Chains A and B, each alone.
Chain A
Amino acid sequence: MAADRDIVRLCQQGRPEGFALLLEEYQGRVYRRAYSFLRHREDALDVTQEVFLRAARAIGHFQSDRPLWPWLRQVTTRACLNYIRDHRQGPPTVSLDDVQAQGEPAAAEGDPEQHALLAWDRAMLEQALASLPTVQRMVVVLRHQEHLSYGEIAQLLDLPLGTVKTYLFRARQALIKAMQQGAVD
């Protein structure tokens, strides 16, 4: 596994093996992150290409002592937000009323003992994630897969901190509710 420092140095020296190493190390990771945000194979491929085209332009000025992934993650996140704006849903805002309607607390329903252990499976979780509004899904992924703090997520998505918390809480409520319904069906 090539070190980030070597990749950056080779790229800045204009050596093609540097960019080949960058792709080898990060192309799959960028694709998977884009896919987890967008849940659409072709869109994720487009975003991956866009991310590395930007990287090709910018890596010449990149500081070689910084890790590459936080930068690529930021470029990927921004590229996904732009992609949503340009291609799919208009501005990445979500009606809080809609979310509230789906996101009633799971604990408020039925017998608590009955729901103590849930029999949901991966497929149900994937389906529930796919049904979330894109920006909420991005917040969930950044929190639980990238382990970013609320503040870091707010900065990355250019959203107020309170909005990030609201999206996160409501998304998780909606996931629980969707999976409980799936388990009952």
Chain B
Amino acid sequence: MRCPDDELLQMFTEGELAPAAGEIVKAHLRACGRCQAAVARYKQLFWDLEHPEEPPLPPELVEQEQRLMRAWAQEHKASVQRRRALRLVPAWAGYSLLWTRYVPPVERLGRFLSRTGRSLLASRVPLARRLLERRR
């Protein structure tokens, strides 16, 4: 049998060959010192690659950690503000549709959005609740 190519030997070494192909390569290896040597080299290489020497952690990571904590606090604050602003969207949408009160379907949509927005706003913001109660 001709020697298997190098890709096949690599796949054999990492157990990626189909069983039938693996058996053929195994039978070849029994008779071929050269391919045995290649497989031994790949085994050693794979073992070395799987057990790397970890690089030391640089001291700058401590400083970076502090910077990242500050960035996270800012990001969190911004995301809370974004969520609050999103809650006001139905109210804004409702008020901006007031001009359409003479177009019946749109007027009904406007009233619905306005009601939803007001109740959402009132449920979240105490000052808005007091203002709405005073208006009533």
Contact = CB atoms under 8 A, between A and B. Distances in A.
Query: Do A and B associate with each other?
Result: yes
Interface of A: 14, 16, 19-20, 23, 27-28, 31-32, 35-36, 41, 45, 48-49, 52-53, 56-57, 60, 105-107, 112-113, 115-118, 120, 122, 125-126, 140, 144-145, 165, 168-169, 172-173, 175-176, 179
A175 B49 CA distance: 10
Interface stretch (B23-31, B32-40, B97-105): B32-40
Main secondary structure on chain B at its contact with chain A?
helix
A172 B69 contact: no
A107 B37 contact: yes
B38 to A, nearest CB: 4
Contacts of A16: 69, 72-73
Contacts of B15: none
B48 A125 contact: yes
Contact of A49 (B7, B46, B67): B67
Interface size class of B (residues with CB under 8 A): 35 or more
Contacts of A105: 5-6, 38
B48 to A, nearest CB: 5
B21 to A, nearest CB: 15
Interface stretch (B58-66, B87-95, B117-125, B127-135): B58-66
Given A36-B52, A107-B38, A140-B49, A52 B6 contact: no
Interface of B: 3, 5-7, 9-10, 33-38, 40-42, 44-46, 48-50, 52-55, 57-58, 60-61, 64-65, 67-69, 71-73, 75-76, 79-80
Contacts of B57: 28, 31-32
Given A53-B71, A144-B50, A173 B37 contact: no
Given A16-B69, A107-B41, 7 more contacts: A23-B68, A28-B57, A112-B36, A112-B38, A115-B37, A118-B41, A179-B45
Contacts of B40: 116-117
A31 B61 CA distance: 9
Contact of B41 (A19, A32, A115): A115
A60 B54 CA distance: 31
A145 B49 contact: yes
Given A41-B58, A60-B79, A115-B41, A144 B49 contact: yes
A175 B35 CA distance: 17
Given A115-B41, A116-B40, A45 B49 contact: no
B37 A23 contact: no
